[in-house]
A and B are shown apart, each in its own frame.
Chain A
Amino acid sequence: MNHNPQSGDGKHDDDTALSDFLASLMEYTPTIPDELVEHYLAKSGVQCPDVRLIRLVAVATQKFVAEVASDALQHCKARQASVIKDKRDKQQKDKRLILTMEDLSKSLREYGVNVKHQEYFADSPSTGIDPASRDE
């Protein structure tokens, strides 16, 4: 990126880059619905009639969630891989990728969110396993 904010050309480039960026946001449909973002933005005091701004926040939020989730996924995979081999055969059945509090708090810590996993608040160990397979 070699731009010169002093020159008029550079400014013009920045303008077009900005509008292109915002226009590209409109083409993308984020999973996080606009209404949700709008609601919380309004709650926080922002008045923005601009849909592109809402889209920007929605996309940024989705990017954040996706990053946290993929980090947690890596933690999850690493934990499952570290299980000793002979045990692994036993647990082959429930080798599903489950978003657990443990992995989530690890990945969130990297993003500056300290989630203290409540020790007394135990999710059932069979969480995320199919009810059918649980019976076996």
Chain B
Amino acid sequence: MNDGGLENRKEHGKSQKQSKSSKFNSKSDDFALAIAKVAVAQVCESVGFQSFQHSALQTLSDIIVRYIYSIGKTANINANLAGRVEANVFDVLQRLEELGSGLGFAGASDADRCVVNSGIVRDIVHFVGEADDFQFAYDVPQFPVVKEWKETGSFWEKGEEPPGKHIPNWLPVFPDPETYAARTSEGNETMSVLNGEKSELASFETKLEWSLLNLQQRFACNGNEGGSSHDGGDAVRAREAAESNPYLAAPLHFGEKEVEVSPVVLPVKLSNEVALKNIVSENCIVGNHVSVLETFAPAIEAMKSGFCDSENRQKKVLHNQRPMVHFKIETGKKSLGSATNV
């Protein structure tokens, strides 16, 4: 069918705007209404129309949608009235008789008739018999699409231990640490961009670094897993997350050398970043791997605050670490500046 050209498009849009408030014209229903329009247009064509006004087509499609809706609603009411949940054919036929009662149909006055013999059913049979099949022009997919709900499962279902004793095991498991670890790395990246590192070279470098760092983290995580197998997978994951995110590090107990530890944890990360930068330029992955393990060792040890044997070593490592941290920070800023200059 010919829809009369472009001029109607505008009016079409206008009329859609006007009828936005209607229940059947909500935005989610656009697809269904469009299908109804095509179907109505096809029926009109089969009747003998050659063309249509947009307003008329819209009105008619709106009416058939309401027709279907009212059939369903009243059929449901009829079913509920009879004490059923699912509507059956009698409820629908009852409603069709009600809808046809305005025009009247054969046998409407006979109260004791079977539904099948009513004029409505005979009309439908007649219609089915004489009308030609007009297949709908398009393949209609099943809609609306309902996404399948994927449950994460609780700690208990997955057989994991919750990371803390205060978390009951019927709660859903935490997402993979990689997800929030990735987010922090992104955040750092944007931060570094904010710092003025906007040249393509530099950003490429940081990307490379972070991918490398993730790799290193995985290596480091695996290495630690061998050493502390009694911790279980979750603890390792948590530590891995803590490695990449200083905010996820285990909280220090009150009075536990926070002056010594807290200034170190953050610089370790920074120094690691800088060290990585230097090493990336050298393309020395094995050396990098070792350096990450070394640089993360104090942080990991610091998090395991319960272990007393780590204290001496920690101190030693911290003493070793501190001058390096200062040094690296300074060079880091310089290298960043030089990167932007280059």
Contact = CB atoms under 8 A, between A and B. Distances in A.
A36 B43 contact: no
19 contacts: A3-B117, A14-B117, A18-B116, A32-B64, A32-B136, A33-B35, A33-B136, A35-B141, A36-B39, A46-B72, A46-B75, A46-B86, A61-B71, A73-B48, A96-B51, A99-B60, A101-B53, A121-B11, A130-B2
Contacts of B32: 36, 39-40
B112 A5 contact: yes
A47 B85 contact: yes
Interface string A13-55: 0100110011011001101110111011111111111101100
A36 B290 CA distance: 63
B140 interface: yes
B56 A99 contact: yes
Point out which of A60, A61, A66, A101 has the most chain B C-beta atoms below 10 A from its C-beta. Answer: A60
Contacts, number: 235
On chain A, which size bracket covers the interface?
Answer: 35 or more
Contacts of A72: 49
B127 interface: yes
Given A25-B128, A53-B92, A64-B64, A112 B102 contact: yes
A96 B88 contact: no
B59 A21 contact: no
A80 interface: no
Interface residues of B, number: 77
Nearest to A15: B116
Given A31-B134, A112-B102, A59 B127 contact: yes
Interface in B38-78: 39-40, 42-44, 46-57, 59-60, 63-65, 67-73, 75-76
Q: Across chains A and B, which 8 residue pairs bring their CB atoms closest together, nearest first?
A: A128-B51, A44-B72, A99-B52, A112-B102, A41-B72, A127-B4, A69-B47, A40-B68
A88 B25 CA distance: 40
Contacts of A112: 102-103
A128 B53 contact: yes
A57 B68 contact: yes
A110 interface: yes
B46 A121 contact: no
Contacts of B96: 60
Interface of A: 1, 3, 5, 14, 17-18, 21-22, 24-25, 28-29, 31-33, 35-37, 39-50, 52-53, 56-57, 59-66, 68-70, 72-73, 76, 96-101, 103-105, 108, 110-113, 115, 118, 121, 123-124, 126-131, 134
Given A31-B46, A33-B35, A61 B68 contact: yes
Interface string B113-141: 01111000101110110010111100011
Nearest to A96: B50
Contact of B136 (A31, A49, A52): A31
A5 B86 CA distance: 25
A40 B65 contact: yes
A28 B4 contact: no
